[in-house]
Amino acid sequence: MTTIPPIPPHGEHQTPDERRQLARRFIIDARQELATGNRLQAGEKAWGAVAQMFKLAAERRGWQHMSHPHIVNIGRHLRAEYEEDYASQTLADAIYDAYDKGHRNFYENWTSLDEVERVVEGIEEFLPTLDAMASAEPRPFTITSNTQRDALRMLTGNYQLQVGDRSDAGFSLRHQPDGNGSGDRADSGGGLEGP
């Protein structure tokens, strides 16, 4: 029998262990919902587990993560930063399915029980990978598109970021090799001002 982790106490901030606990709890809850045929709740719980891992990554980096657009942009950035980890497409597909067939299905009711079960299985399989990425030190990152620039502006609050800017710490506000809290502008070599 699986031990169900308790729901952590409510509060404005969750610890990393509480985020992990919530993610595990959501997967167990998703399995229970599947057993009763409640595919809407099961899919939403699978997406909730992903969102907790994205929030963990954001908190470690000092990024904003309180809205749906924040969560989506965190996912996009992690995919770009950890591109080789997504290379097989399996992890990317599992996350996309959790969003599309889990979260969106909660509102649209268009996904079958079998499809939602595959979503839950995919996220359950990749939860350790997501946790490892969320817990790892940020990797060097260069902004190569307006989409990446806009996402990082939203997450960091630094609206001076530009395509071509580079950060040895993935634009983390908490993991800066030089301690200045900003990326390096590739074209000038100088630091950017923080938010």
pTM comes to 0.85
Integer-rounded Cα Rg, in Å, for the chain is 18
Is the predicted pLDDT of residue 191 greater than 60, yes or no?
no
Q: Report the length, in residues, of the chain.
A: 195
Confidence of residue 190 (pLDDT cuts 50, 70, 90): very low
Cα gap 104→102, rounded to integer Å: 6
- The answer to whether residues 39 and 114 belong to one domain is yes
Asked whether residue 64 is domain-assigned, the answer is yes
Cα gap 176→170, rounded to integer Å: 9
Using DSSP, state whether 27 is helix, strand or coil. helix
Q: Which two tokens stand for residue 83?
A: 């591109």
Render pLDDT for 20-39 as a digit per residue (tens, 0 to 9).
999 999 999 999 999 999 99
Confidence of residue 7 (pLDDT cuts 50, 70, 90): confident
Summary mean pLDDT of the chain: 86
- The answer to whether residues 145 and 129 belong to one domain is no
Range of the domain at 156: 141-185
Is the predicted pLDDT of residue 183 greater than 70, yes or no?
no
> What CATH number did the domain enclosing 70 receive?
1.20.120.330
Count of domains for the chain: 2
- The answer to whether residues 39 and 82 belong to one domain is yes
Render pLDDT for 56-68 as a digit per residue (tens, 0 to 9).
999 999 999 999 8
pLDDT of residue 90: 83
Render pLDDT for 147-178 as a digit per residue (tens, 0 to 9).
999 999 999 999 999 999 999 999 999 887 65
- The answer to whether residues 44 and 99 belong to one domain is yes
